[in-house]
Structure 1
């Protein structure tokens, strides 16, 4: 049961970020450049990687895209 909740939460995070990018007409590469990380690092963070670095990147993403975490 816990794994299902974790997977559901990860999908929700990914969806929120992708929707906000589409709304702003912004690509992941543009977002990566804006917050100063590589595209691969950004992609891992968007797909809910739980490493400390990805968590920090997600916080920057939330700020730039105005997403409440």
Structure 2
């Protein structure tokens, strides 16, 4: 597997995660990212970065909170 292929797969997974979270927000009467951030006790900007696929440990922890809140176990 080439580096380009790996990067493409990572980008595809980021898009899949983002889409799943956005769908969950819409399913909850169009919940905003701000409302989500408040629910999980995080800042709006950091929550947005996590949803958009940032790979920092903080973003990973925020995604874990979101997955738990929305009971996301698979994509």
Q: Same fold (TM over 0.5)?
A: yes
Misfit runs of 4+, over 3 Å = none
Larger radius of gyration: 2
TM-score for both structures, normalised by structure 1: 0.95
Q: Which runs of 5+ in 1 are unaligned?
A: none
Q: How many residues are treated as equivalent by the alignment? A: 69
Higher relative contact order (CA 8 A, sep 6+): 1
The Cα of 1:65 is off from its aligned counterpart by 1.2
Q: Which runs of 5+ in 2 are unaligned?
A: none
Greater helix proportion: 1
TM-score for both structures, normalised by structure 2: 0.88
CA RMSD of aligned residues (A): 0.8
